[in-house]
């Protein structure tokens, strides 16, 4: 019954994100979840969650997760089936499938809705001249960023 109500951002070559929260599973008023399936070589785009910490259960496959904290602090760790991951609210992070089979990760949030801000979405909704100056890249480079907020990007 629940599976029919799961929403997903997209199903590109790189994988899929399925979300269950108060929008599509109305009894879920205090918890949201996302099931990531990332194809070999694919990556969950750099993003952050503005409304909750992220708890993860790594179901199958293997991958790495990099988390960025304030300052020049970043940590990359390897994960395998049965591992637990945790990302504090608002910390940027991405997940990469480093294996040769699909990677599945269950993300759980103590919040009524799944919310994320992806790096490409943020960049494409900020004035290009401001981003170009801040990141020291050309406006033409910024124009190449995807405008459709890809959740999973292929290898």
* Residues marked as catalytic: 107
DSSP letter for each residue of the chain: --GGG-EES---TTEEEEEESTTTSTT-SS-EEEEEEE-TT-EEEEEE-SS--EEEEEEES-EEEEEEETTTEEEEEEE-TT-EEEE-TT-EEEEEE-SSS-EEEEEEESSSS---EEHHHHHHTS-HHHHHHHHT--HHHHHTS-SS--SEE--
From residue 78, alpha-carbon distances to 48, 58, 65, 69, 99 in Å are 19, 11, 7, 18, 11
């Amino acid at each position: 019954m629940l599976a029919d109500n799961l929403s997903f951002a997209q199903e590109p070559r790189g994988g899929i994100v399925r979300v269950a929260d108060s929008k599509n599973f109305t009894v879920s008023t205090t918890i949201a979840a996302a099931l990531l399936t990332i194809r070999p070589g694919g990556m969950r785009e750099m993003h952050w969650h503005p409304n909750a910490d992220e708890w993860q259960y790594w179901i199958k496959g293997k991958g790495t997760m990099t988390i960025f904290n304030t300052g020049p602090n970043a940590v990359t760790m390897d994960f395998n089936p049965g591992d637990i991951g945790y990302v504090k609210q608002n910390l940027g992070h991405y997940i990469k499938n480093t294996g040769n089979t699909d990677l599945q990760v269950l993300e759980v949030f103590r919040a009524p809705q799944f919310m994320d801000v992806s790096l490409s979405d943020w960049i494409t909704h900020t004035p290009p001249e401001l981003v170009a100056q801040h990141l020291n890249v050309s406006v033409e480079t910024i124009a190449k960023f995807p405008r459709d907020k890809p959740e999973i990007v292929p290898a």
